[in-house]
Amino acid sequence: MLTQFTTPDEVRAVLAVAEQELPDRVINLPMYHRLLQFELREINTGIEEDYLALPAPEAGSQTAAQELFYNVMQVFAAYSVARQLVGSQPMFAPQVISASDTSAQRAADPYESTRASVEAGYNVMLARLKSAYLAIDSSATLATAVAPVFALAVGIATDPVTDT
């Protein structure tokens, strides 16, 4: 359940939209929880279980490292879901609403800066989440990105026309 990780209000805060534009029922669709799970499993297969096994923050029994991990996970989850939603933002967040609230106008791509901001925030929180997770489980193995290997084209040694 997505609400174990973040709230619809936090996702809307990342996207800077109102509840009328992006209702809770959309954010709480099971698909967004599954997408978050996929991302977490790419970091470490046990990270979700370790997060869910943490003592409740209200109990005051979390260590400083656990509290940091818990808080970073909450923010990361909000950015992760927002990252999934930002592509469709022009459809649910009008650019201009008239004073009478009866008309709306959308531009070609007024959300480019929002998209860049969400992506940057996501990358920062991903790095912080990995660091916070290693602080509570130093034996954890984190997945690393595999660098692509590009093939090169090399010209032939002789010119087939002049045979030189």
Q: Name, in order, each residue with C-beta under 8 angstroms of 85's C-beta and a sequence gap of 6 or more.
A: 11, 15, 22, 27, 32
Give the residue carrying structure tokens 């030189």.
164
Q: Tokens in use for 153? A: 């084209």
The tally of domains found in the chain comes to 1
Does 128 reside within a domain?
A: yes
In the block, tokens 């045979």 appear at 163
Residue 131: predicted pLDDT? 92
In a domain, 9, yes or no: yes
Residue 111 belongs to a domain: yes
End-to-end CA gap in the chain: 69
Whether 89 is covered by a domain: the verdict is: yes
Separation of CA 3 from chain center = 15
89 Cβ neighbours under 8 A, 6+ residues apart: 15, 17, 111, 114, 115
Domain that holds residue 98: 2-136
Q: Is residue 141 part of a domain?
A: no
pLDDT of 94: 55
Task: Show pLDDT as tens, one digit a residue, over the chain (164 residues).
Answer: 899 999 999 999 999 888 988 899 999 999 999 999 999 999 999 999 999 999 888 777 889 999 999 999 999 999 999 999 987 766 655 555 555 555 655 555 567 778 888 999 999 999 999 999 999 988 888 876 555 666 665 566 677 677 77
pTM of the model as a whole: 0.74
Burial of 87 (0-12, 13-18, 19+ CB in 10 A): exposed
Q: What is the pLDDT of residue 151?
A: 62
Q: Closest Cα to residue 65, out of 141, 129, 139, 4? A: 129
Query: Is residue 28 domain-resident?
Result: yes
Rounded to whole angstroms, the Cα distance separating 141 from 44 reads 7
In the prediction, which pLDDT does 83 show? 94
Please give the pLDDT value at position 152: 61
Structural domain contains residue 159: no
List, as one string, the DSSP characters of 10-28: HHHHHHT--TTTS-HHHHT
Q: Evaluate whether residue 151 is within a structural domain.
A: no
